[in-house]
Structure 1
């Protein structure tokens, strides 16, 4: 199958959606023994086995506050010709294990999106450009960043590229064996359906370790470095 430049542009939205917070939930602890009180999740992004970029999350903690910085960089081309480029930057802030806000900026091959989502009492106020602002009147909405295993217990997610509300259903498929960081590990597998179609894996500590989704006849896969 041959993908056009328009196909790659449409793919950007899917990548951003890979691109988590709920009232009463706790942010996962950083890696044990890490004196910097920080953790990095670093994935290479593959399309049908060929690497097209990276997705990196840096999770740091200062007392009760947790910050998550998310960088996605993708580039698809043919020889020296770049057909599609995608850059996404996002910062999440949590306080006491609860999501407080995220602020993102995306360059989807020349189209720019900016979103700020902030908790105000029980609502999430979403400020987005170029679309209209709005308010979500429920406290359990999670950004589509997936690093928190609580994502798989939610029915509504918030797209971090365009600020759209996404309704999902998640099925627990049990334990699986996958490759992560060059080794075979045991991880819990979840299938997400609805406005998003994804397969997610979390290891025994609740760490996000793999993602996979279909697109235009191809398979997009996140493999942990």
Structure 2
């Protein structure tokens, strides 16, 4: 089941740490129409004045007991303040490989290389870094799977409750409108990223929920 809309998963200057955590770990169950299909884990650690994020995702979608779609993604990101300074990612999207390498060139630029070529991005660039509340102020975000800089619109989309490690938690929803489909990100009252919802091909619901 080839599904390019799963690209959204991978979708994650000079300021200090004020707008985001310096360390943390988010281990999510990934569900498709409320059925578990895998997990996605993020680990953030501080190193001097920089932050390093690693992420690993593994999905398998089954139909009548037969695996019809597989997805594997790994990425390492280096951050200074709220600006991405380095990115290395590898993806196997149901047999289609993708690779992105991005490196800072000077204080305010990033060169992004993929199999299709390279491009230079000026200014402070962020990826789809859901863990960092500064994402709410962005108008463009770098897709860690494809290497594309995507135009986005981020807005508050109301309140609700999200299951967090088996318990309902009051949360605020922020919507990231992308060229493909909107992504809803849930934050706790303390500003921690606690969930994600989106719609993928076939009008199916994709969700991230923190594991117990």
Q: Secondary structure at the match of 1:173?
A: strand
Deviations for 1:157-183, whole angstroms, at most 9, x for unmatched residues?
Answer: 000001011101111124432221122
**Cα separation, partners in 2 of 1:25 and 1:112, compared to 1, 3 Å:** farther
Aligned to 2:6: 12
**Does 2:99 align with 1:114?**
yes
The count of residues paired between Structure 1 and Structure 2 equals 207
Cα distance between partner residues in 2 of 1:183 and 1:89: 29
Q: Secondary structure at the match of 2:152?
A: strand
The alignment's TM-score, normalised by the length of structure 1, stands at 0.84
Aligned to 1:29: 21
Show the 5 A alignment for 1:143-154. Answer: 143-154=127-138
State whether residues 59 and 68 of structure 1, in contact with CA within 8 Å, keep that contact through their aligned partners in structure 2.
yes
**Cα separation, partners in 2 of 1:223 and 1:94, compared to 1, 3 Å:** same
Q: Secondary structure at the match of 1:133?
A: strand
Q: Mark the runs of 5 or more structure 2 residues left unpaired by the alignment.
A: none
Show the 5 A alignment for 1:10-89. Answer: 10-17=4-11, 19=12, 22-24=13-15, 26=17, 28-30=20-22, 38-89=23-74
Task: Please provide the CA RMSD for this pair.
Answer: 2.0
After superposing on structure 2, the runs of 4+ consecutive aligned residues of structure 1 that deviate more than 4 Å are none
**Does 2:204 align with 1:224?**
no
How far is 1:87 from its partner? 0.5
The alignment's TM-score, normalised by the length of structure 2, stands at 0.88
**Does 2:175 align with 1:183?**
no
How far is 1:207 from its partner? 1.6
State whether residues 105 and 113 of structure 1, in contact with CA within 8 Å, keep that contact through their aligned partners in structure 2.
yes
Cα distance between partner residues in 1 of 2:118 and 2:27: 32
Show the 5 A alignment for 1:183-202. Answer: 183-195=167-179, 196-202=181-187
Show the 5 A alignment for 1:113-132. Answer: 113-120=98-105, 121-128=107-114, 130-132=115-117
How far is 1:98 from its partner? 4.1
